[in-house]
Every structure is written in structure tokens, then in C-alpha cells.
Amino acid sequence: YKVASSKASRSQVGWKQFIGGEDLQKDAEQHQESIVNTLRSRLVKTGQDFKSVLQQRTKTLTDAASRRNNLLSDAPRSSESTMFGGADGQQQQQQLAVRNSNTLYYQSRYDAVREIEAAVNEVSDIFHDFSILVAEQNEMIVRIDQNVDSALLNVNAGTNELMRYLSSVSSNRGLILKIFAILDRKS
């Protein structure tokens, strides 16, 4: 009987150490939650920064487009003034040539800005997809956490059943020894 009670006390000590594992699990849960919150806050901050850069870029593009339209609207609408103007015509031709070169320059700049805007929009889409992935990972972590909790409950129930079985076996052992002792005396 002393052997059974010492085993029971050792299993209770083991049980208490197992219960201490709950603190570790809580720490792990808090750690996971803090990581997810940190990632969320970083993603939100990056998204806000990205949004402000995108708005600034859009404003710059709008300003460039309005300047380009202003330059194009300043160009002469007919060539009659250049034909009949003499010296003034020559000066207007030079101005027209400068405006044409400026227009080509601004058009190339406008095209470059459009390419940059397309790249920025792609990066924005990537950030959006990344935020969706982070949210999905959070859902998976919650599900894993719930599964770990249910597994812990099952382990606790199994440990309780083993403790009850150990106590019933311990009490039955004494009875069996008594029966053998009585049978030994009769023989």
C-alpha cells in the first residue's frame, strides 16, 4: 500500500508540474497575440505612410498634367502668323520649336510618372494582399490556440481518469493480497 501511495504522490507532483505548464501556455498565447498586434500596427503604419505617399504622388501627377495642358494650350493654333510675320514670324518659329521640345520633354516626364504611378499601385495591391494574409494567419493562430486548449482539457480529463484507476488498483491490490493470504492458510 505504501508503494501505491508513494506512486500516487509522485503522480500528483507531476500533475502539479503539468498544471504549471498552463502558465507557459498563457505566456505563449500572450506572445503570439503581441506578435500579431505588432504586425498589425506595423502594417497599418506602413499602409498609412504608403497612402500619404500615393496621395502626394497623385497630386504631383495632377499638377504635371495641368501644367502640360497649359503648355499645350499656349501653342499657336495656326501657322498664318508665322508665314506673314517676317522677323516676328522667325521669333515665333523659335518659340514654337522651344515649346515643341518642351512639350516632348514634358510628355516623356509624364509617361515616366505614369509608369511610376502604375508601379506604386502594384505595390499598394501587394500591401493589401499582405494585410489579408496577416488577417488569415491570425484566424489560423486562433484556431490552433483553440485546438491546443481542447487538447489540454482532454489531457486533464485523461490524467484524472488515470488517477482514479490508480487509486482503484491500489485498493484492489490490498484485497487480492488478503485473499491470497486466506487461501494460503487453507492450503
Q: Which parts of 74-86 fold into alpha helices (H)? A: 80-84
| 181/187 Cα distance (integer angstroms) | 10
Instruction: Give the distance, in angstroms, between the CA of residue 152 and the centroid of all CA atoms in the same chain.
Output: 27
Please, are residues 1 and 174 in contact by the beta-carbon 8 Å criterion?
yes
The backbone torsions φ and ψ at residue 75, rounded to the nearest 5 degrees and listed phi first, read -65, 145
What is the reported pTM? 0.34
Query: Among residues 134, 123, 168, which one has the least CA distance to residue 39?
Result: 134
The pLDDT assigned to 4 comes to 42
Q: What is the pLDDT of residues 40-87, one digit of tens each?
A: 888 778 878 888 887 888 888 888 778 877 776 654 544 444 444 455
Least confident stretch, 40-44, 97-101, 112-116: 97-101
| 136/43 Cα distance (integer angstroms) | 14
